[in-house]
Structure formats: C-alpha cells, structure tokens
Amino acid sequence: MEESVKGGSRKTLDKEEIVESQGEDYLLSRIKEAFGCKEPDVRAYSPLTLAYIGDAVYDLVIRTVVVESANRAADKLHKRTVKYVKAPAQAKIIEALREYLTDEEEAVYRRGRNAKSNTMAKNASLSEYRKATGFEALIGFLYLTGQTDRMIYLIKKGIELAGMED
C-alpha cells in the first residue's frame, strides 16, 4: 500500500508487517539506536537502577492495557492504573509469580527486594515496598535484556494469579 507524501510517496505497512519487522524488543533497539546508547552488561546494574526503569516500563504496560480496554476520562484511567501499579498490588503479583521464575529471574528479584532504598511508598508496608522494588527490578532486567515476551507473560500471569483481573 502506498501513501502520498510531499515530494513523493512512501510505503505504509499494515499491522502484521510492522510486528514482523520489529521483533520483540523493537522499542528498546530503536531507543538505543536513536540515542547512541552503549551495550553495557545489564547484570552489573544496581538493583535500584533496574527498579527505576522497571517501574516506568511496568507503568507503560499497564497504562497501555487500561487505555486499550476503554476510552475513558483521564481520572478514570488513572484510578484503574493505580490498582495495578501501587506497591501492595505489585507485592501481591510477585508473590503469586515466584514459582514461575527462573533461577536468574529469582536472583534479580531478590537483589531488588533486598536493596536498601532511601524512599518509602506512602500507602505500603516496608515488606510490600521491598517486594514491589524487587518486582520492578525484575521487569527492568527483562526489558533491558530484550526479553519483552517473557516480561509481558509474567505481568499477565501475575495479574491473573493474584486475582486482579477486571
């Protein structure tokens, strides 16, 4: 399919062609390419660094699911999102997932859970906050290592196992 553009035309890909051409870690590879990011050893990152990026990636996944489920007012979208991204919810998800983690994933989770942070969630216990940090570190690790399919599988499975589906 061709689309007219000033000074010529360009090919417009359909959804299947886009998915085929992009691969599972397309967003990450495009970001690295566009900004000239280096390829450091993600396994050497601090667990709080992994949790930092994992928090954002998990939030993006949940926001995407919430927005795709219905076109609603922003405040309603926010309330639905918070249900999944608050520390107690993340703690519940990771507890439900523990038996599904590989040894490497379990090690990343434990490193994140045991990391000493200078901050604390407002509406969570210390235990919930640490488990949530471990969960976010795991999500960050999976994202940065290009394991997008595994990351999405674990998020979906965790939500199901924790009984948090809408």
Q: Is 25 an annotated catalytic residue? A: no
What distances in angstroms separate CA 93 from CA 6, 51, 85, 141, one per listed residue?
Answer: 49, 15, 10, 17
DSSP code at position 100: G
166 is written with which tokens?
A: 């809408």
Q: Are 47 and 108 in contact, with CB atoms under 8 Å apart?
A: yes
Residue from 25, 55, 75, 166 carrying the catalytic annotation:
55
What distances in angstroms separate CA 102 from CA 44, 93, 138, one per listed residue?
Answer: 18, 16, 11
Give the phi and the psi of residue 9 in degrees, each rounded to 5.
-140, 160
DSSP code at position 98: G
- For 59, the enclosing helix (H) or strand (E) is helix 47-69
Catalytic positions, written as ranges:
55
